[in-house]
Structure 1
Amino acid sequence: MRSNRHPINDDTPINWRIFSQLWPYLTEFKVRVGLALLCLIAAKTASIYLPFILKYTVDELNAERAADAIVLVPFGLVAAYGLLRLANVLFGEIRDTLFGRVTERAMRRLGLQVFRHLHNLDLDFHLNRQTGGLSRDIERGTSGISFLMRFLVFNIVPTLFEIAVVVGVLFYNYGVSFALIILVSVVSYVSFSVKATDWRTKFVREVNQADSSTSSRAIDSLLNYETVKYFNNETYEANRYDVDLANWENARRKNRLSLFALNGGQASIIAIAMTSMMALAAYKVAQGDMTIGDFVLINAFTMQIFMPLNFLGFVYREIRGSIANIENLFNLLDKQPNVPIDENAKDLKIAQGKITFNQVQFSYRPDRTILHDISFDILPGQKVAVVGESGSGKSTLVKLLFRFYDSSNGSISIDGQDISKVNQHSLRKAIGIVPQDTVLFNDTIFENVRYGRPDATDAEVQQAIDLAHLRGFIESLPNGENTSVGERGLKLSGGEKQRVAIARTILKRPPIMVFDEATSSLDSQSEQAILTALKEISQGHTSLVIAHRLSTIVDADKIVVMGNGRILEQGSHRQLLDQNGAYKQLWQTQQSQHHESDIE
């Protein structure tokens, strides 16, 4: 199955376009962002002044002073140190609180945008997607937004700013030696971190790909639980899952070893730099060029620089990964549906409900045409059935009518309006469908019926349940209409799911009804009950019925017989039997099979 992931090459540079794409999400709370930046400046100012307070405190303690000054001056400096430390922490917390709302709203906005966009993509995309991998891409992408915004704005940029200030302070107060050690160490550390992180990006990506593959395999297997049981393939599924887990384990091992190499190199640079700074400071104190307070200040500044710098390496690695994950998210947003959405298209206006297929031609792939010059009308209030062997193109007509795909040639119109030129939402609102395979949400029967029109009242839902002859079944359940149907409706039988689908369509109240082999998988008793319900709800509606069993559509106003993507015959049941053509042959074949089954 084709993956929806978009891995980048190992030598691909950071996509800085990501930041311009994220910028609009930051501007929604300009005041909050401004206040957060002010708190950031205040916190960093307090942080830079802390080593100076330590220096003055130590020097005061070493100085010979009067008894009162010996107590008061150092005590005042210690109190100032405590206040600055408190200010540093408080301003940082206020900054995070203010900016937290910004990141959370950005995650919400972008998550919703991706969700809406996925629903706007065409059916072909969703037929080829991997649900587990796709959900992981969305989850990692939205989480990456929070990490990127928070740590880029409040860790990397402030740390670089602090390094520049400290280098300037050291150069101004203590000469070029200390400033040069810090500067060379920082440049070496950042260069090594960038190159090493770029080197190990492929290992991080392998872990993500293995993680997505493992998730997809597990979800796909669990969604097809019954099929696994039918074919006794639990061991086979477990072995396939274990292969994915083994790949994940191997990818994690390589990722862990590469991380060890990166952390070891960073630790070595920091150790050499700090040792050099302390040795030079100790030498200066011994020579009498610096005080013990200066030594403490140098030590404090060095610790203050390298602690966040060590964190900076981690942040860069994570930001690199976050950008890749966010890029996957934006790649999803960049996908354009094959069926274009025209925001300015006019709504479909239903006057009578006449449907016209005019020389419709369609192919899923260029090398294989599915429909050839299909032309027929469904007059207002008529019931028109389309029959034919499997693969003749019957269900494709339904997909084209709902505009999941656009026809290659020809047109489909409703009351003279080309459906390719009308608003898609209004088109699908006008059509109700009872599909062959009804998939329900993991919710109650009542809520699954309400899904036909979410704004319907409880009384309207109850009425739809009655019209679909679903009341008797519901009353037989211990929890009644509040019974959960399970994932994809697996707790219900085929006939029960079909009745829920009928009730849902009744609640929608569309002028056009489509029945896509709605009884093909049911037993005779269930089929008759469903047919009765379908006949009742289709009265007065324009109806298109895709049928396999001809006995279910003998009362159709017109029957369209298809074969190999072409219309072979059209007419009523009696007219087609009199023509002695393809329809009569299908009829006789099915009647013979039905007779043989009765004898058995």
Structure 2
Amino acid sequence: MLWKLLVKYLRPYWRLLAAVVFFQLVQSIASLYLPTLNADIIDEGVAKGDTGYILQTGGLMLAITLLQILAAITAVYFGAKAAMALGRDLRGAVFTRVGEFSEQEVTRFGAPSLITRSTNDVQQVQMLVLMTSTLMVSAPILSIGGVIMAIRQDVQLSWLIAVSVPVLLIGVGLIIVRMVPLFRLMQTRIDTVNRVLREQLTGIRVIRAFVREDVESARFGRANEDVTDTALRAGRLMALMFPVVMLVLNVSSVAVIWFGAFRIQDGSMQVGTLIAFLSYLMQILMAVMMATFMAVMIPRATVSADRIGEVLDTPSSVRPPAHPVNETVGQGELELLDVGFAYPGAEQPVLRNVSFLVHSGETTAIIGSTGSGKTTLVNLLPRLFDATSGKVLVDGVDVRELKPDLLWGHIGLVPQKPYLFSGTVRSNLLYGKPDATEEELWRALTIAQAKDFVQEMEDGLDAPISQGGTNVSGGQRQRLAIARALVKRPELYIFDDSFSSLDLATDARLRAALRTGADGATMVIVAQRVSTIIDADQILVLEGGRIVGRGTHEQLLESNQTYQEIVSSQLTAEEAA
């Protein structure tokens, strides 16, 4: 998966990579040429006392060194550009794919894991590309070139290279094999830390209310210890790697000097040649060491690439139509025909044989016990999930055949847990209609019964809203979410238990305002309180994923036992009539 990602996402930057290879080639050739010049100075200049030759050759070495430095800087510059571009494109690709996911895929991966894959995992792959640009290109050139140049200096000492390099590779390879599973485990445990931290930050009020700070601190401590333990185990192996490299490096150097000294003594080798051979051996082993440094990064980057690829290769269960319908009559009529839904691997479906019709401009309410499938049902309407059987029709067209943007443009959704984005009241209200006027914003706030508390805020529409709307109360958050949907002015409103945080008086005023201010739009309301749905044109009673009753409040109160039980748990029959 790593190479697949690199090939795909680095292809647009092949010119940058070609420049990196070219300048790394220049740098490596310069590095290979310098020891030979140094040997010539010792054997030809110093030994013969030729000062002019020393100055001439030394000047050439200085020029080559400057060229080497410039080539290295340029290679790193272009390599960094390619690596940063790769990171940007990978983050964009992951974000785009996650944006296409249905609730099913998001739940499968989990938000903390998706965040880790978009940040930490992408960074690991990005760093691999950067280090490859600065080290890995030159390593094989120095290794192969060093071997050739060393053999040219002295063939008989070349057996030291044939021994040193395999010993180094075997030692490092054994260490890397043990590091791969540790890096995979580390990424999983980082996911766990992110999940625990996210839960604790989101649920801080609940934690404090139940005096669970110590328990949650211990839970985070365990997750933190797990990451630390894995990192330490990987770190110990990494720490072992460099002593192995240095041991081979130093033993090889001593062996070259030892055996080279005998060859100099019998006159078959010159001092400059020995120094040059030793330099080439150091270059070869340093190149191998650079490759081992890269080898440390490759396993972790491979694990990260697999995790990124898992996201990119996961298709959304909600797929756009091959030939989408681009127009509808825009009346907001809704119909479900024998709809069923089951989660993958579930023993029982959540919804079975659900059929009903909502005419344009009517209000249909859905009520039922907890777990009866109400939220799942309304999530099928905007295609947050796709029905596993049957059809969901909007204006007579199957939602799976509608262009997604067109479908979502017709629907104003207020979810069960209303979410506000960090910014201001204004920026949240403009979310559904960026060009809405201030008059439209205040109109929506008035209908949603949010005008008074927004006016009381110091900056009014420009009052700050923190992430998730945590700086406003639950009821205010719900009313702002309702106002956001009203600004959009769609043909179909879906209120998924969106009045639960409102007191009865505010609830009644809001419903009265909706009847006159929603421009005759169709409404689907999921509610737990009977008082919220008492005036609906049609009430559907959901139980066990099936519709067990339908009609007006009065009709159901007379004929449906399940509805009667719900009503009796909240109101007396006389109060409900």
Shorter-chain TM band: over 0.9
Q: Deviations over 1:478-528 (max 9, x none)?
A: 243333332311111122112211221122221111111211232223323
CA separation of 1:411/1:475 partners in 2, compared to 1, >3 Å: closer, same or farther? same
Letter in 2 for 1:514: I
CA distance in 1, matches of 2:53, 2:574: 106
1:253–1:576 distance in 2 versus 1, CA, 3 Å: closer
Whole-angstrom CA distance in 1 between matches of 2:329 and 2:247: 75
Distance in structure 1 (CA, Å) of the matches to 2:447 and 2:560: 39
1:78 deviation in Å? 1.9
SS state of the match for residue 543, structure 1?
strand
Match of 1:421 among 391, 397, 401: 401
Paired residue for 1:35?
Answer: 19
Partner of residue 504, structure 1: 484
State yes or no: 1:568 paired with 2:552: no
Match of 2:95 in 1: 115
Secondary structure of 1:421's match? coil
The alpha-carbon deviation at position 410 of structure 1 amounts to 1.6
Distance in 1 of aligned mates of 2:117 and 2:105: 15
Q: Is the 8 A contact 2:341 2:387 kept in 1?
A: yes
| Alignment partner of 1:85 is 2:69 | no
Instruction: Give the one of 33, 40, 65 matched to 1:49.
Output: 33
Question: Which letter does structure 1 place at the counterpart of 2:189?
Answer: A
Q: Which residue of 226, 237, 245 corresponds with 1:247?
A: 226
AA paired with 2:194?
S
Q: 1:107-152 deviations in whole A, cap 9, x for unaligned?
A: 1111111111112222123234443333223323211222332333
Question: Offset at 1:565?
Answer: 2.2
Matched, 1:224 2:197: no
Secondary structure of the structure 1 residue equivalent to 2:550: strand
Question: How much does 1:467 deviate?
Answer: 5.0
1:197 aligns to 2:181 (yes or no)? no
1:515 aligns with 2:515: no
**Given that residues 153 and 276 in structure 2 are in contact (C-alpha distance below 8 angstroms), is that contact kept between their aligned partners in structure 1?**
no
1:544 matched residue in structure 2: 524
TM-score, scaled to structure 1:
0.89
- Indicate whether 1:95 and 2:75 are aligned: yes
Map of 1:316-331 to 2, 5 A cutoff? 316-331=295-310
Question: Cα gap change, 1:102/1:461 in structure 2, threshold over 3 Å: closer, same or farther?
Answer: farther
Deviation at 1:450, TM superposition (A): 1.9
Describe the shift of the 1:325–1:589 C-alpha distance in structure 2 as closer, same or farther (beyond 3 A). closer
Q: What is the SS of the residue equivalent to 2:465?
A: coil
Whether the 8 Å contact between 1:120 and 1:337 is mirrored in structure 2 is yes
CA–CA distance in structure 1, aligned partners of residues 573 and 471 of structure 2:
31
SS across alignment from 2:391: strand
In 1, the alpha carbon distance for the partners of 2:385 and 2:512 equals 32
Could you tell me which amino acid in structure 2 is paired with residue 288 of structure 1? G
User: Is 2:97–2:312's contact at 8 Å kept on the other side of the alignment?
Assistant: yes
One-letter code of the match for 1:337?
S
Specify whether residues 447 and 304 from structure 1 end up closer, same or farther in structure 2 by C-alpha distance, changes over 3 A only. Answer: same
Counterpart of 2:48 in structure 1 is 64
Is this contact kept in 1: 2:24–2:137, CA < 8 A? Answer: no
Tell me the residue number matched to 1:270. Answer: 249
Structure 1 CA distance for aligned equivalents of residues 422 and 525 of structure 2: 28
Whether the aligned pair in 1 keeps the contact of 2:365 and 2:524 (CA below 8 Å) is yes
Q: Secondary structure at the match of 2:572?
A: helix
SS at structure 1 position matched to 2:400: helix
Give the residue type in structure 2 aligned to 1:246: E
Give, in angstroms, the shift of residue 348 of structure 1.
5.4
Provide the rounded CA distance (Å) in 2 between the counterparts of 1:205 and 1:464.
50
Amino acid at match of 1:26: L
Equivalent residue, structure 1, for 2:188: 209
| Aligned mates of 2:442, 2:39 — CA distance in 1 | 79
Deviations 1:156-195 (A, max 9, x none): 34312221122112223311x3322123312221232122
Q: Deviations over 1:70-99 (max 9, x none)?
A: 2x3322222221211111111111122123
When residues 428 and 547 of structure 1 are mapped into structure 2, their CA distance, relative to the original with a 3 A threshold, is same
Does structure 2 conserve the Cα–Cα contact (< 8 Å) formed by 1:439 and 1:488? yes
Residue 505 of structure 2 aligns with an amino acid whose one-letter code is Q
Aligned to 1:13: none
Residue in 2 aligned with 1:408?
388
Residues 1:30 and 1:459: Cα distance change in structure 2 (over 3 Å)? farther
Cα drift, residue 343 of structure 1? 5.1
In the alignment, the residues of structure 1 paired with residue 219 and residue 560 of structure 2 have an alpha-carbon distance, to the nearest angstrom, of 53
Determine the C-alpha separation between the residues in 2 that align with 1:252 and 1:457: 54
Q: For the structure 1 residues 389 and 442, does the alpha-carbon distance in structure 2 shift closer, same or farther, using more than 3 Å as the test? A: same
Tell me if structure 1 keeps the 8 A contact 2:147–2:284.
no
Letter of the structure 2 residue corresponding to residue 105 of structure 1: A
Q: Alpha carbon RMSD of aligned pairs, Å?
A: 2.5
Instruction: Find the partner of 1:443 among 418, 423, 426.
Output: 423
Q: CA deviation at 1:584?
A: 4.4
C-alpha separation in 1, matches of 2:232 and 2:21: 40
* Runs of 5+ unmatched residues, structure 1: 1-16
Contact 1:430 1:511 in 2 (8 A): yes
Quote the offset at 1:547 in angstroms. 2.0
Letter in 2 for 1:413: L
CA distance in 2 between partners of 1:558 and 1:582 (Å): 16
Q: Distance in 2 between matches of 1:147 and 1:253?
A: 21
Asked if 2 retains the 8 angstrom alpha-carbon contact of 1:59 and 1:292, the reply is: yes
SS of the counterpart of 1:203?
helix
Q: Distance in 2 between matches of 1:191 and 1:92?
A: 30
- Name the CA shift for 1:461/1:345 in 2 (closer, same or farther; >3 Å): same
Q: Distance in 2 between matches of 1:167 and 1:263?
A: 22
CA spacing shift, 1:274–1:562, aligned 2, 3 Å: same
Paired residues for 1:276-291 under 5 Å: 276-291=255-270
Question: Which residue number in structure 1 is paired with residue 54 of structure 2?
Answer: 74
What aligned pairs does 1:519-534 form with structure 2 within 5 A after superposition? 519-534=499-514
Distance 1:324 1:249 in 2: 18
Number of equivalent positions = 575
Residues of 2 paired with 1:441 and 1:166: CA distance?
59
Higher mean Cα deviation, 528-537 or 487-496?
528-537
Q: Which among 251, 273, 277 is matched to residue 294 of structure 1?
A: 273
Q: Closer, same or farther in 2 for the Cα pair 1:573/1:34, shift >3 Å? A: same
User: Where does residue 5 of structure 1 map in the other structure?
Assistant: none
Alignment-derived partner of residue 455 in structure 2 = 475
Confirm or deny: 8 A CA contact 2:79 2:134 kept in the other structure.
no
Aligned residue for 1:518, secondary structure, equals: coil
How far apart are residue 469 of structure 1 and its match? 4.3
- Given that residues 142 and 283 in structure 2 are in contact (C-alpha distance below 8 angstroms), is that contact kept between their aligned partners in structure 1? no
In structure 2, how many angstroms separate the alpha carbons of the residues matched to 1:140 and 1:531? 47
Paired with 1:115 and 1:437, the residues of 2 have a C-alpha distance of 23
Inter-CA distance 192–460: structure 2 relative to 1 (3 Å threshold): farther
**How many angstroms apart in 1 are the aligned matches of 2:263 and 2:428?**
79
Superposed CA deviations along residues 250-273 of structure 1, whole A, max 9, x for unmatched, are 323322332333333222222221
